[in-house]
Amino acid sequence: MKTILDYETVALVDEDDAIEIIDQTLLPGRIEIIRLHTAKEIWDAIYLLQVRGAPAIGVTAGFGLYLLMKHSQAGTFEEFMKELREKSDYLNSSRPTAVNLSWALKRMEAHVVETAGSSFDRAAVIDEMRAESERIKAEDIDVCRRIGENGLTLIKDGDGLLTHCNAGQLATCKYGTATAPMYLAHEKGWNIKVYCDETRPLLQGARLTAFELHSAGIDTTLLCDNMSASLMKTGAINAIFVGCDRVAANGDAANKIGTSMVATVAKRYNVPFYVCAPTSTIDINTATGNDINIEQRKSEEVTEMWYSERMAPEGVKVYNPAFDVTDNELITGIVTEYGVLRAPYDKAIKELFEKKNA
Ligand code: MRU
């Protein structure tokens, strides 16, 4: 039987000048595949979380920029770049916290600059953009698999694992980041038990993570966000894996709101807390977590969404940041495609980028 894992999170449909995504706002009740054609449709899909999760947003942005430039009529390289930068800035304004969005857009722009050559050949430049956007997607799958292999070294058969939000296949193009060790453990026949925080207010844990892990046949248990301390206290959790939207140069990590609370409780109960991060999510230009722009979202997500009637008094003030920052001292390890980084993270991250760029 076809499950949610058999659908592509993000795909390019070149012949229709479209990006195809699963509309994640409808999950798990309905699997609906939609196509995005215009800049506004792509912007809205990212803002509304029809496509979400840092790597998946990056892949969507790459495909989006290619498609938006595919029919450019620019006569000179300068005109082409001006148009490209305008479209890139627009897509980049859809969500502020996940660095993969600007990372993918900058990578597309840099690739155009590198490959353009001295005489401007528009068709060739557009072909290069297509190839680069497909590479971003292919690399995402490879990187997630490698994060899974590195994460697997941190767990064993029979472990109980906790995760927060959705850093699963639905947030990437395959495997997920935080879920990659879980999928690989399951592939090996290990009996792991995964606990998913429901993740208020948008319920990514309940609607997405529990859905995909349960569909894969993994032993999955859902809990409300305020239950993880009592669960950790029982000793049921051997390790926690979460994704992230941006890791600062000192190892502070922004992820879905509630992550830092989980990390704080994990410290209290001596449960290892791992942040899974492709190097595309590490932002060496952001010094610390204090420098990360945290997205604030609409109050209705807290007061009304998912309820059959409003559950808060009209006019009450609402605090609704979409992400929080986990201080680096609460993080046991950062699992990247190159290995598991350990504190001091400023040094580990610097060395990783030096090696990667060598
Ligand atoms: O608001 P969302 O659903 O896009 O938030 C997603 C997360 O916080 C994920 O954990 C993060 O993007 C990593 S996805 C591999």
Q: Tell the residue nearest (CA) to atom 15 of ligand 1.
A: 167
Residue 172 has pLDDT above 90, yes or no: yes
| Residue 230's CATH number | 3.40.50.10470
Section 318-335 average pLDDT: 98
Same-domain check for residues 233 and 126: no
- Which of 144, 168, 189 is where one domain is finished? 144
Q: Identify whether residues 309 and 222 lie together within a single domain.
A: yes
Question: Could you tell me the pLDDT band of residue 10, with boundaries at 50, 70 and 90?
Answer: very high
Asked whether residue 283 falls in the same domain as residue 205, the answer is: yes
Spatial contact of 251 and 324, defined as CB atoms under 8 Å apart: no
Is the pLDDT at 1 greater than 90? The verdict is no
Q: What is the pLDDT of residues 124-138, one digit of tens each?
A: 999 999 999 999 999
Listed residues 84, 111, 144: the one ending a domain: 144
Question: Which among 140, 159, 197, 245 is annotated as catalytic?
Answer: 245
| Contact criterion met (CB below 8 Å) for 45 and 95 | no
Within this chain, do residues 169 and 130 fall inside the same structural domain, yes or no? no
- 68 in Cβ contact with 20 (< 8 Å): no
Q: Which of 208, 352, 206 is nearest to 278 (CA)?
A: 352
Per-residue pLDDT of 197-216, as tens digits, reads 999 999 999 999 999 999 99
Among protein residues, the one with the nearest Cα to ligand 1's atom 8 is 256
Let me know whether 163 and 268 are in one domain: yes
Q: Among the three residues 102, 121, 144, which one is the final residue of a domain in this structure?
A: 144
Q: Return the ligand 1 atom nearest residue 208 CA.
A: 3
- In this predicted structure, the answer to whether residue 235 has a pLDDT above a threshold of 90 is yes
Mark whether 157 and 250 lie in a shared domain.
yes
The domain total for the chain is 2
Tell whether 122 and 164 lie within a shared domain. Answer: no
* Dihedral sign computed on CA atoms, order 220, 225, 227, 229: positive
Q: Measure Cα distances from 43 to 75, 169, 229, 246, 314 in Å.
A: 27, 21, 37, 20, 30
Same domain (yes/no): 136, 123: yes
Instruction: Say what the alpha-carbon torsion angle 297, 302, 305, 311 is, to the nearest 10 degrees.
Output: -150
Question: Probe ligand 1: pick from 256, 259, 326, max atoms within 8 Å of CB?
Answer: 256
CA angle 28, 149, 348 (to 5 degrees): 110
Q: Using 50, 70 and 90 to split pLDDT, how confident is the model at 118? A: confident
Q: Which domain holds residue 72?
A: 4-144
Tell me, what's the pLDDT at 117? Answer: 81
Confidence of residue 182 (pLDDT cuts 50, 70, 90): very high
Does ligand 1 lie within 6 Å of residue 165's CB atom? yes
Residues 175 and 306 in one domain: yes
The domain spanning residue 114 has which CATH number? 1.20.120.420
Asked if 304 and 311 touch (Cβ cutoff 8 Å), the reply is: yes
Is residue 297 scored above 90 in pLDDT?
Answer: yes
Give the torsion through C-alpha atoms of 315, 317, 321, 326, to 10 deg.
-150
pLDDT band at 4 (very low <50, low <70, confident <90, very high): very high
Whether residues 106 and 154 share a domain: the answer is no
245 among known catalytic residues: yes
Check whether residue 290 and residue 279 sit in a common domain: yes
Distances (CA, A) of 14 to 101, 116, 129, 257: 21, 22, 12, 36
Mean pLDDT of the chain: 98
What predicted TM-score, i.e. pTM, was given to this entire model? 0.97
Going from the Cα of 118 to the center of ligand 1, the distance in angstroms, rounded, reads 40
User: Could you report the per-residue pLDDT of 78-99, keeping only the tens digit for each?
Assistant: 999 999 999 999 999 999 999 9
Please indicate, yes or no, whether residues 69 and 98 belong to a single structural domain of this protein: yes
